[in-house]
Amino acid sequence: MLKLQSINKIFNEATADEKIALDHINLELKAGDFVTVIGSNGAGKSTMLNMISGALTPDSGDIVVDGKKVTKLPEFKRSELIGRVFQDPMSGTAPTMTIEENLALAYSRNKKRGLKIGVDKKRREYFKQSLEILHLNLENRLNAKVGMLSGGERQALSLLMATFTKPSILLLDEHTAALDPSRAELITNITKQLVEKDQLTTLMVTHNMQQALDLGNRLIMMDKGQIILEVKEADKQDLTIAKLMDEFQRIRGEKLTSDRTLLSV
């Protein structure tokens, strides 16, 4: 489904700020896999997601989606196959457009956009039904401008839009980090529901270790541009935060830094 083959990326090469962002990353996701990614700030999690989505291109290595090499494909082409939810709730939707217009934009993702009216009767019905899954009463506010919605509502809508056309890969980039705990839980539940409904192959970056344990069937831990730990489906069940912390210490020979992120439970 998704294959990363020895991906390398260096930022600010040959300057004093040179930073190895990704160091020979190899990763394979099978259809239906839901992999959570944890790691401290600067570990390369977001860079890896940006490589897959096409926002960044690797210095070397290849990215394969659905058996097709997409390394050189521009972002907008790749996004036919890849759905994305960003950390900032403002990023995933168009604020001056209505809910139904935003859904129409998502609906056209894997089709050629033409001179057909974006929201016709049939589609509006379909949008309404799809919104009901969220239980946020958005189905009755189809003509509300998205800029008027709260952060949680916008993020729920982004999530629905990202999964609307059943993409081959779903990328979630700390998509609950900017929300308060109760909203974050709501979005986590919706994520679980939407991913399970269509058996989406998902890669989720999170700062919240509990969330990383609760969601998904596999877990990877990144540090300094490398994948330092992979937990397989069978072992993930009995994983706890304490075990993860110990594991990190064993591998790195140092205690996990007092990074706010890894401590947030």
Partner 1 sequence: MFTAIFGSVEQGIIYAIMALGVYLTFRVLDFPDLTVDGSFVTGAATAATMIILGYHPAIATIVAILAGFIAGCITGILHTKGKINPLLAGILMMIALYSINLRIMGLTVENSIGRPNIPLLNAETLFSQFYSWWETLGIDEAINNFLSGLGVTYLPATWGTIVIIAILVLILKLIVDWFLKTEVGLAIRATGDNKKMIRSFSANTDNYVIMGLGISNALVAFSGALIAQYSKFADIGMGIGMIVIGLASVIIGEAIFGTKTIVRTTLAVIAGAIIYRIVLALALRIELLDTGDMKLITAIIVIIALVLPQYFDKRRERNRKAKRIADRLATKEEASDHA
Residue 161 interacting with partner 1 (CB under 8 A): yes
Give the shortest CB-252-to-partner 1 separation in angstroms.
Answer: 34
Nearest to 23 by CA among 38, 37, 42, 36: 42
Count interface residues toward partner 1 (CB under 8 A): 35
| DSSP-based three-state secondary structure for 21 | strand
Residue 95 interacting with partner 1 (CB under 8 A): yes
- The whole-angstrom separation of Cα 80 and Cα 139 is 25
CB neighbour list of residue 195: distance below 8 Å, 6 or more residues apart:
34, 163, 170, 202
* Cβ neighbours of 133 (radius 10 Å): 15
Residue 96 interacting with partner 1 (CB under 8 A): yes
Q: Which is nearer to partner 1, 104 or 244 (CB)?
A: 104
Residue 106 interacting with partner 1 (CB under 8 A): yes
Q: Which is nearer to partner 1, 105 or 228 (CB)?
A: 105
Q: Per CB under 8 A, which of residues 75..94 are in contact with partner 1?
A: 75-77, 79-80, 82-84, 86, 90-94
Nearest to 46 by CA among 250, 255, 257, 225: 225
Q: Per CB under 8 A, which of residues 29..68 are in contact with partner 1?
A: 53
Residue 105 interacting with partner 1 (CB under 8 A): yes
- The whole-angstrom separation of Cα 179 and Cα 229 is 28
- Binding residues for partner 1, per CB under 8 A? 53, 74-77, 79-80, 82-84, 86, 90-97, 101, 104-106, 108-110, 113-119, 161-162
